[in-house]
Structure 1
Amino acid sequence: MTYSTLDVRPRADRLVVAMNRPEVRNAIDDRMVAELHQLCGELEREPKILILTGTRLDGRGIFASGADIGQLKERSRDDALRGINSAIFNRIAALPMPVIAALDGWALGGGAELALAADFRIATRHLKFGQPETGLGIIAAAGGLWRLKEIVGPTVAKEILLAGRILDAGEALDLHLVSEVVEDPDGLIDAADALADRIAEQDPLAVRLSKQLFDMPASAHPAIDNITQAICFESEQKHARMQAFLDRRNNK
């Protein structure tokens, strides 16, 4: 598959994808949305871990500066009701295998909401994270209004959403918005790869099912857990991995 706004680097168990519109600070336009849908289709057909990152401009990192304001300005009520960005971010969040957002520099507006759709976020010390939508006369309608609150809590979320607060890397780490801060930007993808390596060591089926069940409503548990565990109990990987564990223990 060919991409013009994404730099896609496939590996055996993962895709490393860099948004690649540095001339507009990786603003998310209709073309990028279409290519992200294309990417999701590929990962839905052949599940792999996704590492999503940005690019550099004049030596400085940029994850994504937000939606393309030139296009956003021209969007109408009907465009809003289509949920152009929320639909793709929800699709990314629902991918079968985990998504890791590797954040360097600005992650604003739609860029922040894209990062929130990931399962994990790793950042450099240059991270600047915010939701400036209300300053532009709109709301953070692609996930920011609800995903942010779930992660950082309502008080800080309101400061970001209603008062324009921008978080730096240290604040994001303290608030568990990111799980790791990398001092050297050149080590960002290495850190994301290290996390992906740990995920790849697990049974892919168990990882996929655990991700699917994670956001289920409380009323679905424990019944859905029991049914899913029944699937796992019959898998070849369960027997092989448990036998390997017993063999290692018995050989000590």
Structure 2
Amino acid sequence: MYQTISTTLEDNILVIAINRPDKMNALNKTVMAELALAVDEVYKKKEIKSAIITGAGEKAFVAGADIAEFLTLSPEQGATLAKKGHTIFQRIEECPKPVIAAVNGFALGGGCELAMACHFRIASTNARFGQPEVNLGLIPGYGGTQRLTQLVGKGRAMELMLTGDMISAADAFAMGLVNHVVEREALLEKAKEILKKVHAKAPLAVAKVIKCVHAALDKDVDGFAMEIDEFGACFATRDLQEGAEAFTQKRQPRFTGE
């Protein structure tokens, strides 16, 4: 079905792998279009409860964009390219099902931006992160200036983007850019371990948490008011009834997402 990505569904987790290891999994138009289709699958298919985005091979998660595609672009075409990237990455960020980036190797430029669009990140010990666009006379174009600042703070984000420096997985963990650092062979298992915990929770509540957390960073949204509304909306769900009954009966809840 796909030419530049691969997908595997197991235990209700869709693993989406950028599959251009000979090109360090660089993003091009085809990758972005196919990634958008895979994300649509996550939204639409009930059997998919969560997703992991990773890179094929041992060297790279995504080592940036395919720079050869940039050489003939006009300013208008460049802006159109960035807008498409923003749309796809925002759809990942706003997915009501959890999406984890499992970062193996280089996550540079658009690759770092893709990882940051996921709900959180797990890195292998050999992972490297960076926004080196200034080395090409560019700036991050797929949300990097905004998400990196949100995740690590203005000062650190400014330094990383102005110098174009790469940082190690350990440094990324210290900055709060990644949640966990594990050996490469344990990377996917760690991501799956976390997602299986989430799968045991109420799906509607999970979606509402994701929505409300994003609202905390949206200047145009009153996140506190949204939390009140979404908290109230939980009382119309069967899952709340099941969760409360299971708690009082001292048993594990059986959530249905209703």
TM-score by length of 1: 0.92
- The alpha-carbon deviation at position 12 of structure 1 amounts to 4.5
Mapped partners of 1:197, 1:243: distance in 2:
22
- The alpha-carbon deviation at position 73 of structure 1 amounts to 2.2
- The alpha-carbon deviation at position 244 of structure 1 amounts to 0.7
Aligned to 1:202: 201
Aligned to 1:115: 115
Say whether residues 1:93 and 2:103 are aligned partners. no
For the Cα contact (< 8 Å) 2:26–2:64, is it kept in 1? Answer: yes
Code of the residue aligned with 2:53 in structure 1: it is L
Say whether residues 1:63 and 2:65 are aligned partners. no
For the Cα contact (< 8 Å) 2:49–2:199, is it kept in 1? Answer: no
Code of the residue aligned with 1:224 in structure 2: it is M
Unaligned runs of 5+ in 2: 252-258
Q: Secondary structure at the match of 1:75?
A: coil
- The alpha-carbon deviation at position 80 of structure 1 amounts to 2.1
Mapped partners of 1:79, 1:96: distance in 2:
31
Code of the residue aligned with 2:194 in structure 1: it is L
Aligned to 1:29: 28
Q: Secondary structure at the match of 1:248?
A: coil
Mapped partners of 1:64, 1:221: distance in 2:
33
Instruction: Choose from 218, 223, 226 the match for 2:225.
Output: 223
Say whether residues 1:48 and 2:49 are aligned partners. yes
Q: Secondary structure at the match of 1:215?
A: helix
Q: For 1:119-165, what per-residue CA distance to the aligned partner results, in whole angstroms no more than 9, with x for missing partners?
A: 11000110110011011011102111111011111111112100112
For the Cα contact (< 8 Å) 2:61–2:111, is it kept in 1? Answer: yes
For the Cα contact (< 8 Å) 2:55–2:61, is it kept in 1? Answer: yes
Q: Secondary structure at the match of 1:139?
A: coil
Aligned to 1:245: 247
Percent identity for Structure 1 against Structure 2: 35
Aligned to 1:124: 124
For the Cα contact (< 8 Å) 2:13–2:192, is it kept in 1? Answer: no
Over aligned residue pairs, what C-alpha RMSD do you find?
Answer: 1.5
Code of the residue aligned with 1:98 in structure 2: it is P
Code of the residue aligned with 1:75 in structure 2: it is L
Aligned to 2:37: 38
Q: For 1:78-101, what per-residue CA distance to the aligned partner results, in whole angstroms no more than 9, with x for missing partners?
A: 222222322211121111211100
Aligned to 1:180: 180
Q: For 1:60-87, what per-residue CA distance to the aligned partner results, in whole angstroms no more than 9, with x for missing partners?
A: 3310011111112222222222223222
TM-score by length of 2: 0.90
Map 1:116-195 → 2, pairs under 5 A: 116-183=116-183, 185-195=184-194
Say whether residues 1:17 and 2:16 are aligned partners. yes
Aligned to 2:7: 8
Tell me: CA distance 1:4–1:17, structure 2 relative to 1, closer, same or farther (3 Å): same
Q: Which moved more, 1:44-53 or 1:155-164?
A: 44-53
Unaligned runs of 5+ in 1: none
Mapped partners of 1:15, 1:182: distance in 2:
21
Mapped partners of 1:167, 1:95: distance in 2:
28
